[in-house]
Amino acid sequence: MERLYRKLASYDTEDVYPFHMPGHKRNPALLDGFFPAAQDITEITGFDNLHHAEGILLETARRASEVYGTRNTYLGVNGSTAMILTAISACVQRNGKILIARNSHRSAYHAMYLRGLTPVYLYPQKTSGMELNGSLRPEDVEKALQEDPEIEAVFVTSPTYDGVMSDIRGIAEAAHRRNLPVIVDEAHGAHLVFSGFFPESAIRSGADIVIHSVHKTLPSLTQTSLLHVCSDRIDEELVRRFLTIYQSSSPSYILMASIDACMEIIQERGKELFREYTENLEKARKRLSGLKYFRLIDPARDYADTVFDCDRSKLIISTRDTGMTGQELSVLLREEYRLEMEMSAPSYVVALTSVGDTGEGFARLTEALADIEAKKAGEWALREDEAGKNIPDEELQPPGQVLSMAEAMEGRTRKVLLSESEGCVSAEFMLLYPPGIPLITPGERISGQLLQNVRRYLQQGLTVTGLKDRENRRIEIV
């Protein structure tokens, strides 16, 4: 069968006049040459329908399934966000209960809100001395499932934004003993299966649904994603129902074709590309390991007691021994060296790497860090470690859930000063970023300890987000 992206490319030469959407009518005079208007079509004859795929889109999804070795795979044009909404909705009945990692992406919270679910939270282990979430433990999953027979599914993220992986095999065994499905948000791990350099993907570790943002770590356009069904514990009728609800009824063919082209390049040149990439990556990791003040963190080695494994495509560069914060390093790299990092935290920055990187790109990063060290070594040798002091070290106590998220968000609410909100029930989320765990979710009671922690985080210059009041002075309560 034809490839979607080729069919789309050649359609432009067929001189077919569009009396259909989109409104730009594939007319380059109205949409500057920067946009691929000629390939931006709708569900015209021969191009199938994502929500009732039986032609070229079904074939594209089947190819992706073949590439990943899954039971079935669905194409996504609304990111992992829509796939997470779908997976949770399909695996847990309305008003049901889910065992869910507290460090989940906000789309998982939104799924619980929309479906009226009751969460039972799993907390990741804490890495001491660094604002990095550790892994989730199978024994905690086992315990939670033993204690609550009403739980219908388990939802975890692995790898995290920082590349921290959890023992999905162990987690799946605990869930499958009760015949419960495990959904793994592997948004950051679409590349894992393509090289032995990386840890095993959840697809091969017993997960029932695995979700990928193709755009995050593979050569594909932003918003592209895949939902992989890996077992017969999943009702695919429900998966299809919710995909139709959460995804656009006008999915972009450019996005879908970019998934197709990505799958083809991996099928045809994946081995060679990943070999070259991982060789460059390994070289860069070795060079970074040789630096004196910047420290390349390997979470699975440096925090072996709390991290099960890690995806070494993420370059985590600690600034703890430099007297510089991660944010300061990030600004310096951007302004002086034209290098934009994926993320910065008080004591580290994360450089996201992928098969799209070049040897030259890696060299620019390693040389920039070596250059900064050479210029600042004298100053740093005399300075105390300051960044290390900015790390939240106390345990984040799980707050008590008093109302459901929907009850809290949709009930009568009012705003009070955060400093006077102790004992009230929050109608808003508050997140500490990083590590990205919600400090409080709607429906949970605000404790004195929480307020004390938030005050300290803000004094330390950490990022607390989520409240409508961007200055974090007032909070909406029920």
Ligand X SMILES: Cc1ncc(COP(=O)(O)O)c(C=O)c1O
* Residues of this chain that bind ligand X (CB under 6 A): 79-81, 105, 107, 157, 161, 185, 187-188, 213, 225
CB-wise, 159 or 326, nearer to ligand X? 159
- Nearby residues of 191 by Cβ (< 8 Å), 6 or more positions away: 198, 217, 218, 274, 313, 354, 355
Judged by beta carbon, residue 337 or residue 433, the one nearer ligand X is 433
Nearest-approach distance from CB 278 to ligand X, in angstroms: 23
CA distance 96 to 324: 47
Q: Are 87 and 183 in contact (CB under 8 A)?
A: yes
The least CB distance from residue 153 to ligand X, in Å, is: 17
Which residue carries 């021969």 as its tokens? 46
Question: Rounded to an integer, what distance in angstroms lies between the CA atom of residue 361 and that of residue 343?
Answer: 17
Query: Nearest residue to ligand X, using CB?
Result: 79
Structure tokens at 24: 């730009």
Q: How far is the CB of 43 from ligand X (least distance, A)?
A: 23
Q: Please, which residue, 323 or 435, has the CB nearer to ligand X?
A: 435
Q: Is residue 444 classed as helix, strand or coil in its secondary structure?
A: strand
Give the span between the Cα atoms of 136 and 155, in whole angstroms: 11
Q: How far does Cα 163 stand from its chain's mean position?
A: 10
Least distance in Å: CB of 363 to ligand X?
A: 28
Strand residues in 136-207 grouped as ranges (E)? 151-157, 164-165, 182-185
Nearest approach, Cβ of residue 185 and ligand X (Å):
5
- By beta-carbon proximity to ligand X, the closer residue of 119 and 323 is 119
Decide whether 89 or 157 has the Cβ nearer to ligand X. Answer: 157
Residues 6+ apart with CB under 8 A from 33: none
Neighbours of 400 (CB within 10 A): 10
Q: What is the token pair recorded at 417?
A: 């000063």
Three-class SS of 103-139: CCCHHHHHHHHHHCCEEEEECCCECCCCCCECCCCHH
Cβ at position 436, least distance to ligand X in Å: 8
Residue nearer to ligand X on the CB measure, 80 or 322:
80
Residue 192 near residue 217, CB atoms below 8 Å: no
Dist CA 431 CA 416 (whole Å): 18
Contact 285, 357 (CB under 8 A): no
Nearer residue to ligand X within complex by CB, 247 or 322: 247
Question: How many CA atoms does the CB half-sphere of 328 hold within 13 Å?
Answer: 13
- What does the block give as tokens for 69? 């070795």
**Smaller CB separation from ligand X, 80 or 327:** 80
- CB 264 → ligand X: shortest distance, Å? 21
Nearer to ligand X, 262 or 450 (CB): 262
> How far apart are CB 83 and ligand X at their closest, in Å?
8
Q: Tell me the closest approach of the beta carbon of residue 321 to ligand X, in angstroms.
A: 28
